[in-house]
Amino acid sequence: MAHINVPEGVPGIRSLVMFRPETGKHLYELAQVLLREDSPLCPADRELIAAYVSHRNHCMFCRNSHAAAARCLYHEAASVVDAVFLDMQEAPISEKLKALLNIAGKVQISGKAVTAEDIEAARQLGAGDREIHDTVLIAAAFCMFNRYVDGLASFTPTNADDYAEMGRRMVEKGYVLPGER
C-alpha cells in the first residue's frame, strides 16, 4: 500500500503523477526527452540504461517496466536485457555499451564514482560527448525516479504480462501523462 492516497491499483510512477500532475508533467517530459527524442544512443539502449540503473537500485517497478520497453525495442535481441541483469560484462552487447553501462552503474553509486578512466574507456570504444552525457543524465534521472516510486511505496505489479503491456505502451505512445494521447 502506498504511503499517500493515490489511485488504487495504478502502478508505479503513473499513480504518483496522477496524484500531482503539475510535477508529474515535467517528470514525464524529462523521460520523453531522455528516452525517445534525439540522441546518438538508440531508444533500446537508453531504455536498457534506465532498466539497468533501476535494477541496481532494486526498484522493481522501474526495472521491470523499462526492461519491458527495451525488450520491445530490441525485437529479436530482447534476451540481451536479461543477460545484462545477469552479468553485464558477459552480455552479448557492444563493448561501447558495456562501457556506458559501467558509467551508469557508477552514477547509481555516486556521481563522484565516475572517473576520468571510465570516461576515457568509453571514448576509446567510440562513445562521444553526447552519448556520455545522455548516459549520465539517464542514470541520474532514474536514480531520482526510483527513489520517488519506492519512497512513496507505489503499487508494484508482480505479473510479467502487466509489464509487457506497459513496455508496449511506452514504446507506442512514449511518456505522456495518464489520459493523454
Report which of 6, 145, 4, 144 is spatially closest to residue 62, judged by C-alpha positions. Answer: 145
Class of domain 12-173: mainly alpha
Q: Average pLDDT across each block of 10 residues of the chain; the chain has 181 residues. List them in order.
A: 92 94 96 97 98 98 98 98 98 98 98 98 98 98 98 94 96 87 59
Q: Exposed, middle or buried: residue 86 (CB in 10 Å: 0-12, 13-18, 19+)?
A: exposed
Secondary structure letter of residue 112 according to DSSP: G
**pTM, to two decimals:** 0.97
The pLDDT, as a whole number, for residue 1 is: 85
d(CA 129, CA 6): 40
Cell of 20: 500531482
Residue 181's pLDDT is what?
59
d(CA 103, CA 135): 7
Centre a 10 Å sphere on the Cβ of residue 6 and count the other Cβ atoms it contains: 20
